[in-house]
Structure 1
Amino acid sequence: MSTATEYGPSSSSLERDARQIHDDKPASAGDIAIGVIIGRMSEFFDFFVYGLASVLVFPQLVFPFAPDRLTGTIYSFAIFSLAFIARPVGSVVFMTIDRWYGRGTKLTIALFLLGGSTASIAFLPGYEQIGYWSIALLALFRLGQGFALGGAWDGLASLLALNAPHNKRGWYAMIPQLGAPIGFALASVLFGFFVANLSNEDFLSWGWRYPFFVAFAINVVALFARLRLVMTKEFGTLLEQHELQATPISEVVRFHGRDIIIGAFVPLASFAMFHLVTIFPLGWMNLFGNQAIGAFLLIQVAGAAVGIVTIILSGLISDRIGRRKQLMICAIVIAAFSFAAPLLLGAGSFGQDAFVIIGFGVLGLSFGQASGVVSSRFGQTYRYTGAALTSDLSWLVGAGFAPLVALILSSKFGLPFVGYYLLSGAVCTIIALSFSKALEVQDNSRRGR
């Protein structure tokens, strides 16, 4: 079997040797599913450890000169957004590494960079120790997280989808999405433990650093779990058949530019809501709420558990009514929730808890199928790269600035503007889904002629 394409070698010689070694160890669908969940969980754990610290730690550690806590949190959320800007750049660079040195090399570099950037934050001196260098280092490490995440796209979710029976595509599409609430729950439990059991001085001095150390260990475990699957015969066969081949970005844009734009807006409602039920409410509670932060983190863990259940339900529902129809219904539900969200957030502890639980429930139904629809319009040669690029743009537009924008709007104009922001994401999703369906009908008509 040839191992080279017009774009360069699809595997390094070491990867081909590794696949021969693992030739008698085929990967089952269950193995792939576990590998995908572990991989996604590690990525989201890294991001949520940072996200929680951007509320609980960095405003005081890195921005103590801010005139008030609100301004410090806004500065912190601005740094939070940098990773989503760096992620598409990382995808472009790591796709080149993938084409020339192989998937295993790309994943190893990306995950060590991701884990290293996260662990480095654990050693970050505060503004009082090194001044503005503390801000510069935090921004650098956050950019490193985003850049590395662009290279963590491994194709395992595509491999899982390609092995899915026709009547179980929704079920298989939701499996990778389980990693997000699991990663968030683990990060919240860790921070909740230290917040609840340490004084504020000890937490800001050393307690907050432990979750960042844990992140590096989780990344190492995830790396080996994913490399084990990447080195299997099935993955190598699909890679050589161009099912999971990295192709030049310019070529993907030339052939699928329209699909990338539409695909970036299809999951916008889900991705916008993603940070509005995780990072933003914690920031709002920390600034304006009357609940203990440790207790509220446990409420968010309960919300994540609800999200896991509804993500699983999304797979069952999607296989019955179709993915596009489900996403359309969920976008309408999110639009309706956008009017209730400000009322719940402003209704005291009970309302805020309800906002998190209900929000996670709605999010799971939508988020469970959001990524699956992104890659559905790409042909096999362009699916791997096209899905990665589309996902990067979706997260950048839909989620990257959500905590920052929501906090600025709510603090300056009131909580109803958080609902308007969420509503705009839902409207974009509805329009993109309608446009995607019209184009699909048009394309099918042309093929019929």
Structure 2
Amino acid sequence: MASTTHYGPSSTSMEEDARRIHADKPVSPGSIAIGVVIGRMSEFFDFFVYGLASVLVFPQLVFPFAPDRLTATLYSFAIFSLAFLARPVGSVVFMTIDRVYGRGVKLTIALFLLGGSTASIAFLPGYNEIGAWSIALLALFRLGQGFALGGAWDGLASLLALNAPPNHRGWYAMVPQVGAPIGFALASVLFGFFIANLSSEDFLSWGWRYPFFVAFAINVVALFARLRLVMTPEFGSALEQHELEAAPIRDVLRVHGRDILLGAFVPLATFAMFHLVTIFPLGWVYLYGTQPIGGFMVVQIIGAAVGLVAIVVSGMIADLIGRRAQLAICAVLIAIFSFIGPLLMAAGSGGQSAFVIIGFGVLGLSFGQATGSISSRFGRGYRYTGAAFTSDLAWLVGAGFAPLVALTLSSRFGLPFVGYYLLSGALCTLAALAFSRALEQRD
């Protein structure tokens, strides 16, 4: 195990006073779990609201000059990717804020920036009103989302893992992941409601803006839920033991550079599939499908429910067979799905619905343990920063460009190439798991 360097308490005197006030009120793992789920749900809600709008709204609102709907959607997906480029930069900046001003200040700034960037999109004028400034503002707000999400890493998932019994680590690792399908389902419900009850003109004029307003309110609720846990004695104790310190990125890279690289590739199949069963199929059906888009969004909500159940099941399976075996099996399932999925997407409405529901099931089994695999190799004092930066890179490599790449490949070469793209992610995951195991045996 690498040596640990002390980088400071990551707490202000006000935070330490708050922990002393609540010293006689220990927080249970269940309370930590609720706070973690609320926090992750708010983050994924913000991103999925944008992701859905990148198919349903922005191609017409921001890129009406494009020669066709496909090109406009590709432009929209290109801006979608900007957040994942900004996220590692946000982590570096906010880690400095964490060390100087404390975890509570960092989270407050990050979540207000995340909610503010998302809410600002609600006021975005279209290209027909302000020209290219509409594109520039959308890109700026999307960069703001990604930059803020880099600072929203709170360490609560690690705190939950530190409280996990040895034989239930898989169960505790899946808890934060539950927020993803809930955030997606909530975003889909809001968009689906306005699509079903408004004319196309009213939806594109003002209806689509309401989910972005809701995002800010959800972020405020999530902020208080997370600050409450940051102020607990349990969190303070983890800081004092250097378990959740914000170490400088350069030091983490020096000590754990190899682990960061491996950690970015282990969940690659999972993160690649993440947007291929959420954003990409909506774009494909919107462009080429025959079923009403509102009806397909209902299918996606059902898929999210299946994914939620699968995430919970993943915790049980991981506790029985181990996290590495769980991820390896799921990578094989994703590889199999890479051949079956394109056939389903090409099979009409029924096949497209099956693609979403089956895809969410496979995704949930894998996603439930993906994040837990990232932090397992970091030493104390490096775990918090290392897990955050590794997660940023994993999302960038695996998911950031997935909708853009998948729609480009499928529109130019056919749906089977989407499967090949997904297959490459599964092979990378299997290779990274094998290499990680070999390194552990050698060490």
The two structures share one fold, judged by TM-score above 0.5: yes
- Pairing of 1:61-140 with structure 2 (within 5 A): 61-140=61-140
Residue in 2 aligned with 1:187?
Answer: 187
Q: Would the aligned equivalents of 2:9 and 2:239 in 1 still touch at CA under 8 Å? A: no
Shift of 1:24: 2.2
Residue in 2 aligned with 1:36?
Answer: 36
Q: Would the aligned equivalents of 1:10 and 1:240 in 2 still touch at CA under 8 Å? A: no
Shift of 1:397: 0.1
Q: How many residues matched?
A: 439
Aligned partners of 2:359, 2:161: CA distance in 1, in Å? 27
Aligned partners of 1:6, 1:37: CA distance in 2, in Å? 30
Residue in 1 aligned with 2:150?
Answer: 150
Residue in 1 aligned with 2:371?
Answer: 371
Aligned partners of 1:421, 1:42: CA distance in 2, in Å? 29
- Pairing of 1:376-395 with structure 2 (within 5 A): 376-395=376-395
Counterpart of 2:168, as a letter, is: K
Q: Would the aligned equivalents of 1:277 and 1:360 in 2 still touch at CA under 8 Å? A: yes
Residue in 1 aligned with 2:22?
Answer: 22
Residue in 2 aligned with 1:52?
Answer: 52
Q: Would the aligned equivalents of 2:9 and 2:245 in 1 still touch at CA under 8 Å? A: no
Counterpart of 2:96, as a letter, is: T
Shift of 1:240: 1.4
Shift of 1:181: 0.4
Residue in 2 aligned with 1:259?
Answer: 259
Residue in 1 aligned with 2:298?
Answer: 298
Aligned partners of 1:27, 1:158: CA distance in 2, in Å? 15
Aligned partners of 1:238, 1:313: CA distance in 2, in Å? 29
Q: Deviations over 1:142-173 (max 9, x none)?
A: 00000000000000000000000000000000
Q: Would the aligned equivalents of 2:9 and 2:240 in 1 still touch at CA under 8 Å? A: no
Aligned partners of 1:260, 1:55: CA distance in 2, in Å? 33
Residue in 1 aligned with 2:413?
Answer: 413
Aligned partners of 2:337, 2:9: CA distance in 1, in Å? 49
Q: Would the aligned equivalents of 2:99 and 2:246 in 1 still touch at CA under 8 Å? A: yes
Aligned partners of 1:98, 1:73: CA distance in 2, in Å? 38
Aligned partners of 2:10, 2:32: CA distance in 1, in Å? 21
Aligned partners of 1:226, 1:437: CA distance in 2, in Å? 35
Aligned partners of 1:8, 1:264: CA distance in 2, in Å? 27
- Secondary structure at the aligned position of 2:159 is classed as helix
Aligned partners of 1:442, 1:176: CA distance in 2, in Å? 32
Q: Would the aligned equivalents of 1:155 and 1:244 in 2 still touch at CA under 8 Å? A: yes
Aligned partners of 1:274, 1:210: CA distance in 2, in Å? 25
Q: Would the aligned equivalents of 2:6 and 2:242 in 1 still touch at CA under 8 Å? A: no
Shift of 1:7: 2.8
Counterpart of 2:286, as a letter, is: N
| TM-score (structure 1 length as normaliser) | 0.97
Residue in 2 aligned with 1:205?
Answer: 205
Aligned partners of 2:50, 2:441: CA distance in 1, in Å? 43
Q: Deviations over 1:54-80 (max 9, x none)?
A: 000000000000000000000000000
Q: Would the aligned equivalents of 2:253 and 2:260 in 1 still touch at CA under 8 Å? A: yes
Q: Would the aligned equivalents of 1:52 and 1:279 in 2 still touch at CA under 8 Å? A: yes
Report whether the alignment pairs 1:332 with 2:332: yes
Aligned partners of 2:200, 2:138: CA distance in 1, in Å? 21
Shift of 1:132: 0.2
Residue in 1 aligned with 2:357?
Answer: 357
Shift of 1:135: 0.2
Counterpart of 1:144, as a letter, is: G
Counterpart of 2:170, as a letter, is: G
Aligned partners of 1:226, 1:34: CA distance in 2, in Å? 10
Aligned partners of 1:130, 1:14: CA distance in 2, in Å? 45
Aligned partners of 2:6, 2:227: CA distance in 1, in Å? 25
Unaligned 5+ segments in structure 1 are 444-449
Shift of 1:380: 1.4
Q: Deviations over 1:241-279 (max 9, x none)?
A: 101011010110000000000000000000000000000
Shift of 1:290: 0.5
Q: Would the aligned equivalents of 1:126 and 1:134 in 2 still touch at CA under 8 Å? A: yes
Report whether the alignment pairs 1:215 with 2:219: no
Residue in 2 aligned with 1:446?
Answer: none
Aligned partners of 1:37, 1:171: CA distance in 2, in Å? 14
Shift of 1:14: 1.2
Q: Would the aligned equivalents of 1:9 and 1:100 in 2 still touch at CA under 8 Å? A: no
Q: Would the aligned equivalents of 1:9 and 1:101 in 2 still touch at CA under 8 Å? A: no
Shift of 1:403: 0.1
Shift of 1:8: 4.0
Residue in 2 aligned with 1:447?
Answer: none
Aligned partners of 2:202, 2:303: CA distance in 1, in Å? 28
Q: Root-mean-square deviation (CA), in Å?
A: 0.7
Shift of 1:22: 1.8
Residue in 2 aligned with 1:308?
Answer: 308
Q: Deviations over 1:187-220 (max 9, x none)?
A: 0000000001100000000000000000000000
Q: Deviations over 1:370-406 (max 9, x none)?
A: 0001100011111000000000000000000000000
Q: Deviations over 1:350-386 (max 9, x none)?
A: 0000000000000000000000011000111110000
Aligned partners of 2:231, 2:373: CA distance in 1, in Å? 27
| TM-score (structure 2 length as normaliser) | 0.98
Aligned partners of 1:40, 1:405: CA distance in 2, in Å? 26
Q: Would the aligned equivalents of 2:90 and 2:151 in 1 still touch at CA under 8 Å? A: yes
Aligned partners of 1:292, 1:93: CA distance in 2, in Å? 44
Aligned partners of 1:262, 1:56: CA distance in 2, in Å? 36
Counterpart of 1:410, as a letter, is: S
- Secondary structure at the aligned position of 1:23 is classed as coil
Q: Would the aligned equivalents of 2:6 and 2:381 in 1 still touch at CA under 8 Å? A: no
Aligned partners of 2:382, 2:190: CA distance in 1, in Å? 39
- Secondary structure at the aligned position of 1:381 is classed as coil
Report whether the alignment pairs 1:433 with 2:424: no
Shift of 1:6: 4.9
Counterpart of 1:298, as a letter, is: V
Q: Identity over aligned residues, as a percent?
A: 82
